[in-house]
Structure 1
Amino acid sequence: MSHGTRTAARTRAVRLGPRSLAALALTSAVGVAAFGWPFLAPPASQLNAHAQDAPWLFSGLLVLLVAVVAATISESDLGPKAVAMLGVLAATGAALRPIGAGTAGLEPMFFLMVLSGRVLGPGFGFALGSVTMFASALLTGGVGPWLPFQMLAMGWFTLGAGLLPGPVRLRGRGELLLLAGYGFLAAFAYGTCMNLAGWPFLGAAASNISFHGDAPVAENLAHFVAYCLATSLGWDLGRALCTVVLTVALGPAVLRALRRATRRAAFETAVTFDGRAG
């Protein structure tokens, strides 16, 4: 194993084992169903007959599954150093979220999630995204049935950054462009996921953009696109542009700081205590 590969391995705060991967795959599969059920369920299904209840059901289910993934990851390889790093980054992300809240989607926490996932890997990224969104909801009073969907979507968002190519060799401008491009697209993907979570609640309030359980998929898809354009396009664009600008402007310094911290943490080195009396 080369020195660069060993360094990359040490900066992976969480190594996903078989149990963690299985729990993550199960949660993601249920998450896809929770977000996409309006397009996956047949028009005559009982799920569509209870369209107003389904988001609550999936919300409760996702709470349990995200907790299972977090517990499985922590049991696999989340040592005290990684827990400390997780706490610091989650607290920072939670503090950043309210800064631009209510202002055209300016949410600086997203760029930190991209850079943290890139440096610390997909396993740590999923845990960080979920915990950060939970902590920020407590901080801003944004606790509700939408929170489990936000936690899962942000977990995916940060996990994806950890799966980007070239974690060892790609540096400099090329890496910044990769991260900025990912942040731009993933910010829109996050917004689309959250639109899917909230869209069924609209009911018949606006028939041209609302979900109709007895309508064909093509019609509901057209309604959903119109809903996104009418309600969140500007917000999602603001989030995406903010992520790009902050990644390009602050990315080099933040990436260096994160990589320096992970090298010093040496996650794969066990924590030991000196038994001699002080």
Structure 2
Amino acid sequence: MSTPAPAPNRAPVSLPRSRPLRIGPRAAAALVLVSLIGLAAFGWPLLADRQSGFAHSHDAPWLFAALLPLLVGVVVATIADDGMDAKAVAMLGVLAAVGAALRPLGAGTGGLEPMFFLMVLSGRVLGPGFGFVLGAVTMFASALLTGGVGPWMPFQMLAMGWFSLGAGLLPGPDRIRGRAELAMLALYGFLGSFAYGTIMNLQGWVILQGMGQGISFHPGDPVPANLARFLSYCLATSVGWDLGRAALTVVLTLTLGATLLKALRRATRKAAFDAPVAFDPGPDPPASLPPKGVRVGTEGEIRASWR
């Protein structure tokens, strides 16, 4: 009775862990450049004199023309740093489509925008670089879907990109998990919703005139005086709207966050974006096989070949 050959030794296979897509040096440089241009675009009217054309409707086309290639640059830089592959780009498209479809559900209803909680959770799972591109692309797609294209759109893209990027910069899941993680994300969504509304107010406030001396923008005035008027403007016009957005983000994060986090992490783990590729050579060939390149034939064929 022959003894069966022992099974070949194989190294244990470990499943890829779900972790955010990393930001390489190229992607980080592109993100810093985009953010600096965005900060300059939002804040330059505060430093302009009375004779300058400070209306954001004039600079929005230039900002949009600069923003799109820079967003493409962030994606290309991330791909070049081996942080994003075709599967990650496909997930980016799916999440952007879902976010764009969610936005019209609450548009015009007390600031209720359900897309914000999706941006928080996506940035949390997939990282700050992916989150920034997702936020900007989602806002662009939703503007096309709802007919919201205007001078405010590039500013919305930047603000939403920063909102999603911030979720990716929160302490990692290896440090905070479970209910503590959901509480952290809900708090970030609450504060980030107000921050988004405040920075978007800055975009529209400088072009609105005749609202009263206490809340109107005065070009050329000292920055502290204009900032005091801006705070009064926000308290008088948008606190209720921002509160509705923040409250809905908190409620959706606490009720649906655990399920969606699990689904996103499972999809990320299945995709294995940054898993190294290795090939198993398999078991060694039996010693009885002839060397590579030697022809094997029957005894008759061998005799015939020598004749």
Fold shared per TM-score above 0.5: yes
Aligned with 1:215 (options 210, 221, 232): 221
- After superposition, residues 39-118 of structure 1 pair within 5 angstroms as 39=46, 41=47, 43=49, 49-52=52-55, 53-55=58-60, 57-76=62-81, 77-118=83-124
Q: How does 1:249-260 map to 2 (within 5 A)?
A: 249-260=255-266
Pick the aligned partner of 1:22 from 19, 29, 50: 29
Comparing 167-176 with 187-196, which one deviates more in the overlay? 167-176
In the alignment, the residues of structure 1 paired with residue 72 and residue 200 of structure 2 have an alpha-carbon distance, to the nearest angstrom, of: 20
1:41-62 residue CA offsets vs partner (Å, 9 max, x unmatched): 2647xxx621123455445443
TM-fit CA distance, 1:122? 0.8
Q: Deviations over 1:82-112 (max 9, x none)?
A: 0111111111111110101111111000001
Q: What is the match of residue 276 of structure 1? A: none
What displacement does 1:187 show? 0.5
Match of 1:275 in 2: none
2: CA distance, partners of 1:92 / 1:119: 16
Distance 2:221 2:69 in 1: 31
Equivalent residue number for residue 227 of structure 1 = 233
Structure 2 Cα separation of the partners of residues 74 and 90 of structure 1? 18
Q: Are the structure 2 counterparts of residues 65 and 206 from structure 1 closer, same or farther at C-alpha, using a change threshold of 3 Å?
A: farther
* More divergent stretch after superposition (78-87 vs 164-173): 164-173
Label 1:54 to 1:138 Cα distance change in 2 as closer, same or farther (>3 A).
closer
User: TM-score by structure 2 length?
Assistant: 0.79
Matches within 5 A, 1:187-226: 187-226=193-232
Distance 2:31 2:71 in 1: 8
Asked whether the 8 Å contact 1:153–1:193 carries over to 2, the reply is yes
Give the corresponding residue for 2:157. 151
Quote how far apart the aligned CAs of 1:73 are. 3.0
1:180 aligns with 2:183: no
Count of residue pairs the alignment pairs up: 262
Summarize the alignment of residues 109-128 of structure 1 with structure 2, pairs less than 5 Å apart: 109-128=115-134
| 8 A contact 1:59–1:146 mirrored in 2 | no
Q: Does residue 32 in structure 1 map to residue 42 in structure 2?
A: no
RMSD over aligned Cα atoms:
2.3
Deviations 1:187-212 (A, max 9, x none): 10111111111111113454432211
CA apart distance, 1:37: 1.9
Distance in 1, matches of 2:79 and 2:211, equals 44
Richer in helix (by share): 1
Q: Which has the larger radius of gyration?
A: 2
In the TM superposition, what whole-angstrom CA distance separates every residue of 1:107-139 from its partner, at most 9, and x where no partner exists? 000001101111111111111111111111111
Correspondence for 1:7 among 11, 14, 17: 17
Is the CA contact 1:66–1:152 (under 8 Å) kept in the aligned structure 2? no
Distance in 2 (alpha carbons) for counterparts of 1:63 and 1:206: 37
Q: Take 2:40 and 2:28, find their aligned partners in 1: how far apart are those partners?
A: 18
Aligned counterparts of 2:61 and 2:85: Cα–Cα separation in 1: 34
The answer to which of 150-159 and 68-77 deviates more is 68-77
Aligned-partner residue type, residue 51 of structure 1: F
Tell me by how many angstroms 1:262 deviates.
0.8
Q: Residue 251 of structure 2 is aligned with which of 245, 250, 255?
A: 245
